[in-house]
């Protein structure tokens, strides 16, 4: 999973550009509409292989929750799902601190096998980030 960082950068880069849109919006409804439009725009470029192990299938946005759906193309490279969740949580909490802790956004990560069997599904939110600091 050497290129796992690439996967994270792609996922979070989307959120960073969304955060800049959120600053300009005036109401919660406007923010939600703009975030949904951004998710739709990103989805028009998906699915996209992010490294030799995974493909980003699509993203969803609903009321401050970004959901990223990945297919693990090569299960032989997936060593420990607990490490994936711990790493994603740590990176999301540090990279998206303001979005998560101040603005209340959450990031859901869903991973399926080549046969579409669910492997992992977890959410990074303010609670997740708080646990890291204890």
Q: State whether residue 39 is helix, strand or coil.
A: helix
- The Cα–Cα gap between 115 and 71 comes to 9
Asked whether residue 129 is assigned to any structural domain, the reply reads yes
CATH classification at residue 89: 3.30.300.250
pLDDT at res. 96: 84
pLDDT at res. 14: 56
- Does residue 118 contact residue 112 with C-beta atoms inside 8 Å? yes
Structural domain range at position 129:
28-133
Asked whether residue 63 is assigned to any structural domain, the reply reads yes
- Does residue 77 contact residue 32 with C-beta atoms inside 8 Å? no
pLDDT at res. 1: 44
pLDDT at res. 11: 58
Per-10-residue mean pLDDT of the chain, 134 residues long, equals 49 57 66 85 89 90 92 87 87 86 91 94 94 77
pLDDT at res. 70: 93
């Amino acid at each position: 999973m050497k290129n796992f960082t690439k996967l994270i950068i792609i996922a979070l880069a989307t959120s960073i550009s969304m955060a800049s849109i959120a600053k300009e919006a005036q109401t919660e409804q406007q923010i939600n509409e703009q975030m949904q439009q951004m998710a739709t725009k990103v989805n028009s470029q998906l699915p996209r292989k992010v490294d030799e192990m995974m493909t980003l299938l699509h993203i969803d946005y609903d009321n401050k929750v970004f959901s990223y759906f990945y297919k693990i193309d090569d299960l032989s490279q997936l060593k420990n799902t607990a490490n994936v969740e711990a790493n994603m949580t740590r990176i999301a909490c540090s990279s998206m601190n303001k979005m998560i802790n101040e603005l209340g956004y959450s990031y859901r990560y869903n991973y399926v096998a080549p046969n579409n069997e669910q492997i992992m599904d977890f959410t990074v939110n303010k609670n997740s980030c708080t646990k890291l600091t204890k």
